[in-house]
Amino acid sequence: MDSLIPESIKPWLNFGHPLLMWVLLGLALYAGYTGMKVRKTRSATGEEKKELVQGQFRTKHFQIGSFLLAGMVLGTIGGMSVTYINNGKLFVGPHLIVGLGMTGLIAVSASLAPVMQKGKDWARYTHIAANTLLVGLFAWQALTGMDIVKRILDNF
């Protein structure tokens, strides 16, 4: 398959996915922080609650989570696309399989938002567990991804 992408640009496409994913990992950690603040706000009283409400952590958590969902889906598609463009195939291995699983996991986590808004604790606990697993997998992906980047750089 002939690509419309100039050959001189193709190798540089390899670095967009890892850069985006490192940014998303940082945002995922910040989303976890805002989520903990939302949880604390729910149980706080008096002056502490007023202070936490002013931080608008619920809004921040929702906005960051929405951005993470979109970024994860587009980053997964982009990483797979660039791999295919540059190699004519995908390399099916742990990095790809875990990345696809993470994309599904973040979708499930986000889908729990309407149920959480109705006050269902089981949805909150599932959301927290899914996102804790997601961040752990994300950290592992970051490390295995750097091995892939190193191999790409070695062939540059």
* Residue 78, pLDDT score: 94
d(CA 28, CA 10): 29
Q: How sure is the predictor about 3, in pLDDT bands with cuts at 50, 70 and 90?
A: low
d(CA 62, CA 121): 17
| Per-domain boundaries in the chain | 10-154
* Residue 104, pLDDT score: 97
Q: How sure is the predictor about 2, in pLDDT bands with cuts at 50, 70 and 90?
A: low
Full-model pTM: 0.88
* Domain 10-154 is found in CATH 1.20.120.1770: yes
